Structure 1
Amino acid sequence: MFYTSICMDYMKQYMKSRMIYRTDFLVDFFSNLLNQCINLLFIFIVFAKVPTLSGWSREEIVFIYGYFLIPYAIFDTFWGNLWNVQDRYIIKGEMDRILTRPVYSLFQILLETMTLESLSGVITGIAVMVYSGNQLHLSFQWYDSFVLLLLVLGSNFVYGGIYVTLASIGFWTDSKTGIIPLIYNIGSYGRYPVDIYNKAIRALLTWVLPFAFVGVYPAMYFLHKPGYLLWTILTPIVGAIAMTIGIFVWNAGIKRYRGAGS
């Protein structure tokens, strides 16, 4: 309850500051929406030239993309400040300020810079899933909404765990950016079926950087694809493992941190 109340206070303060410049807030909101639509348009352009992609239909790819948008939007909203850990908090010394407060350091950093307008991706993702699901004549049960919540939580933990681990590397290096931008580009591969990639990339997206659990594997539950149920079940487990590793590495880095110096 303590951390929940702090989170709500951060969100209230964020909205107060953003509502001072409402036009800017709306521009960011619709910019995110436009970016999502452009990515969706790209899928339609590809399938205008080919009827299927390694056996996957256009509607199935669109459905996977729709699911991917939901955990991605949540990650973009609450985890985006991990990009600044190395430069802002470690090199420039703002971690000193964070560590003087009686609240877990990672929790503070995540909430200091949030973009609530990015949550538009959740609405877009659900809309895309409903549209493509109707096109595919998919059947949904009453409990599927709870399954969706569990899978999205697992997918978000996969994202968070990976990027917390990468951000924590900054405690051992002097680089301003690290490898987060490179890994961020690899993450986009998780919104397409792994079958379209070669074996090396499949292994990378499943076991090394498990971005396949952010999009394709959990989406298979709703598409009722045979042979994927185990991967769907593994989504929350992989998310928990990724987050555990991330927090472990973060805590180790915090113990190593000695201040920015002069």
Structure 2
Amino acid sequence: MFYTRLILGYFMQYLKTRLEYRGDFLVQLVTDLLFQGVNLVFILVVFSHTTDLQGWTREEVIFIYGYFLVPFAVFAAFFNLWDFNERYIIRGEMDRVLTRPAHSLLQVILETMAPESLIGAVTGLAVMGWAAMRMDVDWSWYDPLLFLVFVIGGAAVYGGIYITLTSISLFSDSKTDIQPIMYNVGNYGRYPINIYSKVIQFVLTWVLPFAFVGFYPASFLLDDDRWSILAMVTPLVGVVYMGIGITVWNWGIRNYRGAGN
């Protein structure tokens, strides 16, 4: 109950802050939609020069891209850790967080969350729906349930990786630029994995498993049996990487020296 009240309190405070500047809020929503539209245009441009991409049709690639937007939107809404180093380490706000009787990671997540990013999930669902209608996808009764499980698992994969990267700042007070690099690597997960080399396929599956965020679950929903087993372990991969992230975070907290040293 303590954490439930804490989460609701942070969320209500967030709404008060964001709605104080409604114009800025709306501009950010429109900007996010335009950014997603640019990526969709890129796919259309590619298919204007070819009929398929390593055996994948235009609609299938668009479906995979649309699916990817959903777990990515959940991640972006609740794991908005991009400026953690600057805000919490260099400016010393981590010391304030550690004086409060709640887990430090939860506090940071609640203070930096951006629920407006969930608009990306709406866009992703719309893109998926359009592509599915064009392909006449045959849905099973359990697909919506699997979809929710896959989305949570994919968001946990992303979240676990970025929590681990963020935790590096707890061991050093210097700026790190690894997160933008990892963001670019993560974008590979929004396309069919077999268009890449074997080395990249291995990395995206077993090292930085961004393929579990978009491709593997989406291919299962498309009734492609080649990757069905990998798709079904998406929740497990999410639990493992989230566990790694939390473990590294707790380790970093124990080694954190404070802003005064």
The TM-score, its normalising length taken from structure 2, stands at: 0.96
Task: Give distance in 2, aligned partners of 1:172 and 1:18.
Answer: 32
The answer as to 2:54 corresponding to 1:54 is yes
Residue 33 of structure 1: how far off its partner (Å): 1.0
Partner of 2:195: 196
Query: 1:78-124 CA distances to partner (integer Å, 9 max, x unpaired)?
Result: 111x2222222123221110011111100110111222221111111
In structure 2, what residue type is equivalent to 1:76? Answer: A
RMSD over equivalenced CA pairs, Å: 1.2
Task: Give distance in 2, aligned partners of 1:23 and 1:88.
Answer: 25
Query: 1:153-190 CA distances to partner (integer Å, 9 max, x unpaired)?
Result: 00000000000011111122343134111111111010
Partner of 1:183: 182
Residue 142 of structure 1: how far off its partner (Å): 2.6
Residue 5 of structure 1: how far off its partner (Å): 2.6
In structure 1, what residue type is equivalent to 2:41? Answer: L
* Long gaps (5+) in structure 1: none
The answer as to 2:80 corresponding to 1:90 is no
Partner of 2:222: 223
Task: Give distance in 2, aligned partners of 1:194 and 1:128.
Answer: 20
In structure 2, what residue type is equivalent to 1:250? Answer: W
Task: Give distance in 2, aligned partners of 1:140 and 1:3.
Answer: 37
Residue 227 of structure 1: how far off its partner (Å): 1.5
What secondary structure sits across from 1:49 in the alignment?
A: coil
What secondary structure sits across from 1:15 in the alignment?
A: helix
Partner of 1:249: 248
In structure 1, what residue type is equivalent to 2:6? Answer: I
Partner of 1:23: 23
Residue 18 of structure 1: how far off its partner (Å): 1.3
Task: Give distance in 2, aligned partners of 1:174 and 1:103.
Answer: 23
Task: Give distance in 2, aligned partners of 1:212 and 1:37.
Answer: 21
Residue 199 of structure 1: how far off its partner (Å): 0.9
Segment of structure 1 superposing worse, 238-247 or 82-91? 82-91
The answer as to 2:35 corresponding to 1:35 is yes
Q: Is the 8 A contact 1:86 1:178 kept in 2?
A: no
Task: Give distance in 1, aligned partners of 2:4 and 2:72.
Answer: 22
In structure 1, what residue type is equivalent to 2:108? Answer: I
In structure 1, what residue type is equivalent to 2:183? Answer: Y
Residue 141 of structure 1: how far off its partner (Å): 2.2
Partner of 2:167: 168
What secondary structure sits across from 2:83 in the alignment?
A: helix
Task: Give distance in 2, aligned partners of 1:32 and 1:182.
Answer: 20
The TM-score, its normalising length taken from structure 1, stands at: 0.96
* Long gaps (5+) in structure 2: none
Task: Give distance in 2, aligned partners of 1:62 and 1:201.
Answer: 21
Task: Give distance in 2, aligned partners of 1:61 and 1:5.
Answer: 42
Residue 61 of structure 1: how far off its partner (Å): 0.4
What secondary structure sits across from 1:52 in the alignment?
A: coil
